[in-house]
Structure 1
Amino acid sequence: MTSSFVTKGNRIVWIGFAVVIAILGVAAAFLILSLPDANAFNAQVERIFIENDTLTGRADLKLLEILAQSGTAFSDTLASYRMVIFVLLVFSCAMLLSALVFLLLLTTLGRRMAQIERSGIQVRSLVIQRNENMVYLNDMGFKLTPAAIETLSVLAEARMDDDILSGSEIESMISGKPSADCEEAAGATRIKRLRDALGNQMVSELLVRNIARQGYMLSVAKDAIDVR
């Protein structure tokens, strides 16, 4: 399902590329074709020369010469306009395509983050050293309080036994009191303090899972846990 969604997203992006290029191409063709012919002015001057062969006076010839020079200037101006329009269209096309690429990258990143949230953090090793109040998560080391270490150790031992602990059971195992005498809120408070001690919200939220109506557990493979 995920691969089909990705394929559909990529298809939409390529369709967007094609639509953008088509729109800019049509706009470029319309603008360029809307401009008058660069030689139209010179053609009109030439026709005046041909149709008015009686214009032989010095002033008349000077006027026609000026008109011819104006036609040449007009032709050069239109040529420069066409170049400016072409450059602007290329620039706008590049900007729009860049925006679509960034949109695709953001969409892909958001999809990957959603997959991480659904699957949980990938933990290769979780080493808990009680005597040093340290926990090593992959290559990251965290200095925790003794209470946080006890909470994490209890969760790790329960994970190795495939158990899910409620808040009252966590409080009972740490305090040594019967589970019936412990409150659910006390264990939830210990979980909150553990997450605060871990610091990184993503790490803490994905490492310590809260299963509705069941309790708490670590999202770590059993063979990756080492409690010392």
Structure 2
Amino acid sequence: MPANTSSVTETRAASAKVVGLGIAAIVLILLAAAVFLFATLPDANAFNARVEQLFVESDLTAPAEIGLLEVLAQSGTAFSDVLASYRTIIFVLLVFATALLVACMVLLVAIVTLNRRMGEIERSGIQVTSLILARAENAVMLNDIELKLTDAAMETLAVLAEARLDGDMLTGVQIESMISGRPEIECEEAAGATRIKRLRDALGNQIVTHLLIRNITRQGYVLALDPKVIRMS
């Protein structure tokens, strides 16, 4: 049974789904809060309506009384304007709060995803995100590392890659049979194992050379890493 692999595409899809659900939840919560808030705010024209009712129901003839009602009417108009401005301010603050919460949600998911990917890379050593085989040049692109192989090693790697795409596992006998073209009954397990060993040696030597031990022309050899990570006991 093939080993379980972690796909970058699947991780991104899951993260995008979580972000979408989080944003939708934030918008719905703030929308409900906005509806409740605006529904409970007093009517901007309630004060004016009450003053108008006093004008209609009261028999006021004295100049002082009429002046008082006029002052009340002007106060009601000012109250309506202030309440309308409050509604605008509340709406702007809700929009601003929504934007901040959405941004925080996206950043939080991004940080969690990056930490998870970094943990996987630390546990696995080298995280293979792409493998490109160029048979014509006997070259392999492992992530951004270009590796050169012999014809035999390239054939072995190509057989393994095709089997992985089909979800199959191959024995040494099957590998030798597919490469040599002979029936499996005429092949030996040791021959296929030898091909795998040579492929590992070829890939391993080049990967170590590229990632760990560098050869500086006319200078010598050096470890390609930060001296602070070296521990000796």
Give the TM-score of the pair, scaled to structure 1.
0.55
Aligned to 2:227: 199
Give 1:115-154 correspondences, 5 Å limit: 115-117=120-122, 118-120=124-126, 124=145, 125=210, 126-129=213-216, 132-135=219-222, 137=224
Q: 1:40-76 CA deviation, whole Å, 9 max, x = no partner?
A: 1101111111112x21110111011011011011101
1:83 and 1:44 mapped to 2: Cα distance?
24
Aligned to 2:132: none
1:200 and 1:123 mapped to 2: Cα distance?
25
Question: Compared with structure 1, are the counterparts of its residues 129 and 63 closer, same or farther at alpha carbon in structure 2 (3 Å cutoff)?
Answer: closer
The structural deviation recorded for 1:87 is: 1.6
Q: 1:74 aligns with which of 76, 79, 84?
A: 79
Q: 1:57 aligns with which of 30, 48, 62?
A: 62
SS in 1 for 2:75: helix
Q: 1:180-202 CA deviation, whole Å, 9 max, x = no partner?
A: xxxxxxxxxxxxxxxxxx4253x
SS in 1 for 2:222: strand
Identical aligned residues as a percent:
43
The structural deviation recorded for 1:131 is: 7.1
1:66 and 1:129 mapped to 2: Cα distance?
91
2:144 and 2:84 mapped to 1: Cα distance?
64
Q: Which has the higher contact order (CA 8 A, sep 6+)?
A: 1
Structure 1 unaligned residues grouped into runs of 5+: 143-197, 206-228
Structure 2 unaligned residues grouped into runs of 5+: 1-5, 128-142, 146-209
The structural deviation recorded for 1:32 is: 1.1
Aligned to 1:13: 19
1:13 and 1:51 mapped to 2: Cα distance?
59
When structure 1 is superposed on structure 2, of 64-73 and 125-134 the one drifting more is 125-134
2:135 is aligned with 1:107: no
Contact 2:15 2:113 in 1 (8 A): no
Paired residue type of 2:16: N
**Count of equivalent residues:** 143
Q: 1:4 aligns with which of 10, 19, 26?
A: 10
1:134 and 1:77 mapped to 2: Cα distance?
77
- 4+ residue runs over 4 A deviation: none
1:58 and 1:108 mapped to 2: Cα distance?
75
Paired residue type of 2:39: L
